[in-house]
Amino acid sequence: MNYSYSALSKTHNFELYWSNKNLDFGYLGISKNGSTNFKSHFNLSVEYPLNNVKHETIYACIRNPEERLISSILETTLRAHKNEEQLPSRNVPVDNKIYESILNFNIKDPKIFFIQFLDSIEKFGFYDAHFEPQFHFLFNKNGSERFNFKIFLLYQMSEKIDLLSREYNLKTQSKKIYHSRKKRKVKFNLFKQQLKINNLEDIDFKRLSNFHILEKEHPFNIGLDLNFHSKFLIIDKDVLENKLINYYKNKLLPLKGSEFLNQFLVSHYSQDLYLYNSLKHLDTNNMTLLKEIM
């Protein structure tokens, strides 16, 4: 299996891993693979360079490539913005041509939307770490492993957290299911769910929390029936998240297993599929070293 590649997205630092000064293990954050949850359970808040590793063991989590790609679509569409335009809550800067492509997504038709999203990857490459192949996080561009990570599958994360908690005599225990999306309880903020405005300079964002900003041209405006005519919409993050969860479950997930998606996965994520399927067939009670499945 060839693990070499030519380019990386600019929205993630692939040369770092995370740890805690009181623990003797680290964790490699792979986007859309439960990294935030794992790090928060063990308070892994210190960054370390992978070219100067300080820990003998670094864990990493692998996710079903199909599920990961589907889960990235709405998040990338929400967070993307033009390189030169800084918008609060939007943290995926992309080139103008990429953003023009995103603005043309037809979210009213989930299959067309999905195909347009895949076409944008085909045309522009992996422009966001949320759908960057997982093996790019594990391997250098020349195909050598960044580290001999100890890896497990996402659906095993809860049990692995509990296992490590017992091993290190920690009180932390995982109660969360990491491969699902649940509706969020809405917390009303100053603008009571949403505010339609034409000038962002009129807003003191230091007084606001838990919000997203969308411009009128954003595909969520029509696609999610927001239908605002002002230049911008500031919307409660949980209100919008609940709309996205409904769309994800009712519109995108039914496309899982589609022929067009299977073909794309085989052509663009073959290494990820190999890693995932290799792990599935190994003893799930133990974590596996990367070199054992290469």
| Rounded Cα–Cα distance for residues 168 and 6 (Å) | 39
How do strand 57-62 and strand 150-153 relate by DSSP bridges?
Answer: parallel
Mean pLDDT of 169-195: 56
190: nearest Cα among 209, 174, 213? 209
**Tell me, what's the pLDDT at 164?**
92
Q: What is the pLDDT of residues 49-94, one digit of tens each?
A: 999 999 999 999 999 999 999 999 999 999 999 988 878 888 899 9
| Rounded Cα–Cα distance for residues 106 and 125 (Å) | 20
183 against 206, higher pLDDT: 206
* Angle ∠(177,136,291) on CA atoms, nearest 5: 85
For 114, the token pair is 């999905």
**Tell me, what's the pLDDT at 283?**
63
* DSSP sequence for 202-253: G--GGG--SEEEEETTSHHHHHTT----SSEEEEEHHHHHHHHHHHIIIIIG
**Tell me, what's the pLDDT at 83?**
86
| Rounded Cα–Cα distance for residues 8 and 127 (Å) | 8
| Rounded Cα–Cα distance for residues 25 and 109 (Å) | 45
**Tell me, what's the pLDDT at 210?**
83
pLDDT at 193 over 70: no
Query: Residue 187's pLDDT band (boundaries 50, 70, 90)?
Result: very low
The residues with which 48 forms a beta bridge, in sequence order, are 17
pLDDT at 189 over 90: no
pLDDT at 190 over 50: no
Residues 220-259 as b/e (b if ≥16 CB within 10 A, e otherwise) read bbebbebebeeebbbbbbbbbbbbbbebbeebbeebeeee
Residue 211 identity: F
1 against 128, higher pLDDT: 128
Contact 213, 88 (CB under 8 A): yes
| Collapsed DSSP state (helix, strand, coil) of residue 64 | coil
Q: What is the pLDDT of residues 7-40, one digit of tens each?
A: 889 889 999 999 998 899 999 999 999 999 999 9
Q: Considering the chain, what is the average pLDDT of its residues?
A: 90
The torsion angle over the Cα atoms of residues 111, 117, 123 and 129, rounded to 10 degrees, is -150
Q: How far is CA 218 from CA 161, 226, 230, 232, 291, in A?
A: 38, 10, 12, 9, 44
- What pTM was estimated for this model as a whole? 0.90
Among 55-59, 195-199, 262-266, the least confident range: 195-199
**Tell me, what's the pLDDT at 176?**
54
**Tell me, what's the pLDDT at 188?**
41
Query: Residue 131's pLDDT band (boundaries 50, 70, 90)?
Result: very high
